[in-house]
Amino acid sequence: MYKKGIDVSHWQGDIDFEKVAATGIEYVFIKATEGATGQDAKYLDNRNGFMSAGVIIGAYHYFRALSSTPEAQRDNIVTTLTAAGYDSSAEYFIVDAERSGNEAATPDEMADKLYQLMQLLNDEAILGGRKPLIYCSNNFWNNYISGNKYAFSEYPLWIANWNVDEPAIPATWTDAGKSWSVWQYSDKGRVDGINEDVDLDWVRLD
pLDDT at 206 over 90: no
pLDDT score of 19: 98
Domains along the sequence of the chain with CATH: 3-203 (3.20.20.80)
pTM value surpassing 0.95: yes
DSSP readout, 116-138? Answer: HHHHHHHT-GGGTTPPPEEEEEH
Beta bridge partners of 33: 39, 61
Among the listed residues 161, 165, 202, the one whose alpha carbon sits nearest the alpha carbon of residue 182: 202
Distance (Å, whole) CA 33 – CA 15: 19
Average pLDDT value for residue range 75-98? 98
Alpha-carbon distance of 73 to 117, in angstroms, equals 8
- For 175, list phi and psi in degrees, rounded to 5: -65, -25
As a whole number of Å, the CA-based R_g of the chain is: 16
Mean residue pLDDT across the chain: 97
**Position 176 pLDDT exceeds 90:** yes
